[in-house]
Amino acid sequence: MAAECLAMRSRLIGRTVTGIYDDALRPVGVTAGQLNILAVVVRRGPISPGEVARRLNIEKSTMSRTVERMKRNAWLEISPGESARSQELRITKAGRRVLEEAEPMWREAQRRAREILGSSGVEAIHQLAAAIRERTAWAQ
Amino acid sequence: MAAECLAMRSRLIGRTVTGIYDDALRPVGVTAGQLNILAVVVRRGPISPGEVARRLNIEKSTMSRTVERMKRNAWLEISPGESARSQELRITKAGRRVLEEAEPMWREAQRRAREILGSSGVEAIHQLAAAIRERTAWAQ
DNA sequence: CTCGTTGTGATGTATATACAACTGACAGCG
DNA sequence: CGCTGTCAGTTGTATATACATCACAACGAG
């Protein structure tokens, strides 16, 4: 069982790859997940947490807590959105700085990950992720 | 960046696949990771936590806490090992029962996961995991 | 034998994650 | 207008995970 469990194996891959990025990003103190959120927020201007979560296929509760940490770090600014029940996220100066500092490191991590996974591995991951996102799109 | 980050994508895959197993296993109250530990312990007789962790490529601290939970559930029994600094894990009757009940569900989850990932996806995951394990073997 | 090193686990602290339950706000319906 | 259902976000609770550090035992060199 342990020799073939797909859950264990895909988590192993996830842990390993995440480790590469988190190692690289440690000097900046941002995680891969947080960096991706920053990237989405900077790109899409003021955007609601829920929208970011949908774009990144993240649970809303995970998003809520991650945003909280990023706000604590003053990387994100949160203001009430159009309707009183929604919010708007904006990147702050500090957030922008983090993003700029982190980008080359992210690039380096991406390079190292490619190296470790091999081009077929990289392709497989992109393909699988795309398939999952498509499949989940229907649920949203 | 968000469109191509390998860390995000591999974690997405891991989350999705894990979700399939955890859904299937929920009635028994065991997670995929715990089930794998049970499988290793039942197979390898009395075995130390460290050894299990090495076999499953799990951090020793993660292992320590997972074992604690499984002990709390009375699925595992912990006794002092040969040397005073090591321990021996044994599966209990309750643990065996869980394993038996869970196995068909695990099989079903595995089937569903295969279905979702497709045969090329399954192959890619096995291949990547194998490569990572090999690569890490050197570090151990 | 003593000291420094290494192996095994435990623990502190922090993030990511899930699911369920909850709150508040809105929107449509009767 | 008042209900009812839905949407956005939060919070409770639990697991998985990482890294650093600690405690302790065991081992090996001198």
A61 touches strand D (CB under 7 A): yes
The pLDDT assigned to A135 comes to 81
pLDDT bracket for residue B87 (50, 70, 90): very high
Give pLDDT, residue A77: 94
Is there a domain that residue A20 lies in? yes
Q: Is position B48 within any domain?
A: yes
Paired sense of beta strands B76-80 and B87-91, if any = antiparallel
Q: What pLDDT was estimated at residue B135?
A: 81
Residue B1 lies in a domain: no
Question: Does residue A1 belong to any structural domain of this protein?
Answer: no
- Tally the C-alpha atoms within 13 A of residue B91's C-alpha that lie toward its C-beta: 21
Residue B69, pLDDT > 70, answer: yes
Identify the weakest region by mean pLDDT among A101-115, B106-120, B126-140.
Answer: B126-140
Crossing angle of the two packed helices A49-56 and A32-43, in degrees rounded to 10: 120
- Does the structure show a pLDDT above 70 at B85? yes
* pLDDT tens digit at each of 140 positions of chain A: 767 899 999 999 999 999 999 999 999 999 999 999 999 999 997 999 999 999 999 999 999 999 999 999 999 999 988 888 899 999 999 999 999 999 999 999 999 999 999 999 999 999 999 999 888 765 55
The rounded radius of gyration (Å) of the Cα atoms in chain B is: 16
- Asked if residue B12 lies in contact with residue A57, where contact means CB atoms within 8 angstroms, the answer is yes
Check residues A119 and B138 and name the one with the higher pLDDT: A119
Q: How confident is the model at residue B138 (pLDDT cuts 50, 70, 90)?
A: low
* Residue B41, φ and ψ in degrees, nearest 5: -65, -40
Opening angle at CA B15, ends B140 and B124, nearest 5: 65
pLDDT of B75 reads 97
Determine whether the distance from the CB of A13 to the nearest atom of strand D is below 7 Å: no
Name the nearest CA neighbour of B102 among B14, B11, B39: B39
Element containing residue B84 per DSSP (H, E): none
Give residue B139's pLDDT.
54
Q: What is the pLDDT of residue A138?
A: 57
CB spacing of A124 vs B122 below 8 angstroms: no
Q: Which two tokens stand for residue A138?
A: 């229907």
Locate the DSSP E strands across chain A: 76-80, 87-91
Q: What is the CATH number of the domain that holds A87?
A: 1.10.10.10
DSSP letters, A114-136, are: HHHHHHHHHHHHHHHHHHHHHHH
Range of the domain at A55: 6-137
Please check whether residue B2 lies inside any domain of the structure.
no
The protein residues having a beta carbon less than 7 Å from any atom of strand C are A 31, 33-34, 58-59, 61-62, 65-66, 69, 83-85; B 11, 15, 19, 22-23, 48-51, 60-61, 64-65, 67-68, 78, 81, 85-87
Nearest to B63, CA basis, from B85, B82, B40, B97: B40
Q: Which residue of A has its CA nearest to B41?
A: A2
| Distance of B139 CA from D27 C1′ (whole Å) | 22
Does residue A73 form part of some domain? yes
Distance A63 CA to D17 C1' (A): 18
The burial of B54, by beta-carbon neighbours within 10 Å (0-12 exposed, 13-18 middle, 19 or more buried), is given as middle
Instruction: Evaluate whether residue A51 is within a structural domain.
Output: yes
Q: How many domains does chain B have?
A: 1
Q: Is the pLDDT of residue B137 over 90?
A: no
CB contact under 8 A, B122 and A6: yes
B116 CB contacts (<8 Å, ≥6 apart)? A131, A132, A135, B16, B17, B20
pLDDT at residue B55 is higher than 60: yes
Among A10, A6, A9, A3, CA closest to B39: A3
| Contact across the interface for A36 and B9, Cβ inside 8 Å | no
